[in-house]
Amino acid sequence: MRRGPDHQSAPARSDRYLGHGRSRASGRRTDDRPCADQKAPRILRLRSRPHKEGPVSTVDEAIDNTLLELAAIGPKRRALLDRAARIHRSSASLLRYHGRETQARRAEQAATRIHLALDEPMEAERMFAAARAVREAQDQRRSLEWALEGAISLLGADFGNIQLRDSPVGPLRIVTQAGFNSEFLEHFATVSDEGSACGRAASQRAQVVIVDVNEDQAFAPHRHIASASRFRAVQSTPLVDGTDRLVGVVSTHFRRPHRPSTRDLLLMEWYVEQIGPAVLRNGGDMPG
């Protein structure tokens, strides 16, 4: 029996990742009430700075350099990070109260990623390692191939592709793929509609999952290609540049109906953000 809709544009987040429930460090219940006297932790105030593998363009990339090391040190450091995540949650509520929705979402995202790295350190390290390989690639071909290989591996998928735009409003075009036949590549050579997962991800600027393409009404025009290409499920994550402009989509495909876990989708979203600057740097800037 199927549970829930076959298409979701935002996965249901667990209580731990949403900031509810009890803190492992303190045992106290946490919530999202804003605390005006609480200062945001230092990681919320970091700005872009030089980095040996390229510029650090987001708060999250600044966190990445130290988060896993801190998580492995011991309970005191874990408690500090847990507290930092709670402060991020409170900051998000306060920012949202003052109408600063974008900053509020970034604060919530930072808290979610702190908890994710603390709860799943091995999976987070695997994601970071895959992203580092992409950033260290010396040319476009390797960067794209390794980016796709990492995405497929992280989600345990069977196929995948990366699409980029030739212009800010142009169609998506496949620049690298794994496992698809010529019929698929011809059919999805350019994408500008919202029937496919990648088209929806680009239009909505949000992660999209189609659990079963045979049950998704909007995907109907593409079902014969899915059947010929032997996939039943697909997830697509938007790829944005340093100015938060959508420039492409990373998609992974599964042979059977499949709903990726909340953890896997969060890791995928984080991974795509990590590899974005390297993919675009090696592939050239998109026309403005």
Give residue-wise pLDDT tens across range 113-156.
Answer: 888 888 888 898 899 999 999 988 888 888 999 999 999 999 99
Q: What are the Cα distances from residue 255, in Å, to 45, 127, 227?
A: 43, 23, 10
Read off the pLDDT of each residue in 56-79 and give the average, rounded to a whole number. 57
Read off the pLDDT of each residue in 73-91 and give the average, rounded to a whole number. 79
CATH of domain 139-283: 3.30.450.40
Read off the pLDDT of each residue in 214-233 and give the average, rounded to a whole number. 95
The per-residue pLDDT for 193 is 85
Is pLDDT at 32 greater than 90 in this prediction? no
**Burial class of residue 127, CB neighbours in 10 A (0-12, 13-18, 19+):** buried
Q: Which residues pair with 217 in a beta bridge?
A: none
Handedness of CA 286, 156, 16, 56 (dihedral sign): negative
The per-residue pLDDT for 11 is 47
| Residue for token pair 């499949």 | 258
Read off the pLDDT of each residue in 263-274 and give the average, rounded to a whole number. 93
Q: What is the mean pLDDT of the chain?
A: 77
Distance CA 130, CA 199 (A): 25
Read off the pLDDT of each residue in 192-196 and give the average, rounded to a whole number. 88
226-232 long-range CB contacts below 8 Å, 24 or more apart? Answer: 228/181, 228/183, 228/184, 229/159, 229/180, 229/181, 229/183, 229/184, 229/253, 230/255, 231/158, 231/159, 231/255, 232/256, 232/257, 232/258
The per-residue pLDDT for 69 is 56
Is pLDDT at 7 greater than 80 in this prediction? no
If phi > 0 it is left, if psi is from -120 to 50 it is alpha, else beta; for residue 88 that is alpha
Q: How confident is the model at residue 167 (pLDDT cuts 50, 70, 90)?
A: confident
Read off the pLDDT of each residue in 78-101 and give the average, rounded to a whole number. 84
Phi then psi for residue 21, to 5 deg, are 90, -165
Q: Which tops the pLDDT comparison, 67 or 129?
A: 129
The per-residue pLDDT for 102 is 79
Structure tokens at 72: 């492995």
Q: What are the Cα distances from residue 186, in Å, to 57, 197, 219?
A: 35, 17, 17
What's this model's pTM, rounded to 2 decimal places? 0.72
H helix runs in the chain, sequence order: 15-18, 59-71, 75-97, 101-119, 121-136, 140-155, 182-187, 197-204, 223-229, 262-283
Structure tokens at 234: 């697909």
Residue 99 contacts by C-beta under 8 Å, 6 or more apart in sequence? none
What percent of the chain clears pLDDT 90, i.e. is strictly above it?
Answer: 42
Between 32-46, 79-93, 94-108, 161-175, the lowest mean confidence (pLDDT) is in 32-46
